[in-house]
Amino acid sequence: MKKSTKSISANRFDEAQEAEQNYWRRREEEIISDKFRRQKRHEALTILNELREVTGNGHLKNVLEIGGAGDPILEYYYAGHGVVLDPLAKFFKTELFPMQLKSVEYYCGIGEHLPFKSNSFDGVLLYNCIDHGLAPFDILSESKRVLRRGGALHLLVDTYSLISNTYRMMVEQVLPMRRVDEHPHGLRFNVIEKYLKDIGFVEVISGHDEHPYSQNLNKPPVSTKRFIKDMVRCHRKLRAFYRLEDMN
């Protein structure tokens, strides 16, 4: 299985996980609100329907969601066997949000080392998670390993241009207070696309959302501080489905 060397230190990962917990604590009231739940329910339904369309499997038996324990997609409208794996699963389950569906199992673990047999899932959901991990491309490789041939991967992740990513890393080195604590990685769209193609995935459904911060760069800067902030955050959100065609 192809592996990537792009990784962070264990200390940096622990810092990111602590920042993630603080992020969810701050948003607790918003996340349990009726408005948020309706929006997430609609998004989850869309994703699961598209997953069925991509795989040609109207009755998905086994789906894995990595890094989604905070508010799992599989908690909405899923009738099959769902598995959610997250390094913070215990935190979410005991401290923040009670888990609901009996058909969804929760594992505490990391996506770089999945405790599941190869070829065991019809679909894998990576919803805003790989840039939180130790080694994002190892998560993609492990996702491929556990997918059955013809299975599908749903990926949602923030991506940066080469310029904005380089600028972001430089600013974080000089100004640690500007660091995006819970997002230790700045990933490039074309690098992700090439990696997935190299390990056997074919893009089936794609979409990109321009981040509102990037629109500010086309306007005269309000201040140097604002320009730096917008440049560091300038990115697009990649939303795509990939079908696994090759099992080599």
pLDDT digits (tens, 9 = 90+) for 159-176: 887 777 776 677 667 666
CA 110 to chain centre: 12
pTM for the model:
0.83
64, 94, 96, 92: which is closest to 80 by C-alpha? 64
Q: Looking at residue 239, what is its pLDDT?
A: 86
Q: Which residues pair with 239 in a beta bridge?
A: 156, 207
Q: Looking at residue 212, what is its pLDDT?
A: 44
Give residue limits of the domains in the chain. Answer: 10-244
| CB of 98 closer than 8 Å to CB of 128 | no
pLDDT tens readout for residues 100-151: 556 688 899 999 999 999 999 999 999 989 999 999 999 999 999 999 999 9
d(CA 169, CA 114): 29
d(CA 166, CA 183): 15
Q: Which of 3.40.50.1440, 3.40.50.150, 1.10.20.60, 2.40.50.140 is the CATH number of 10-244?
A: 3.40.50.150
3-state helix, strand and coil shares in percent for the chain, rounded to the nearest 5: 45, 25, 35
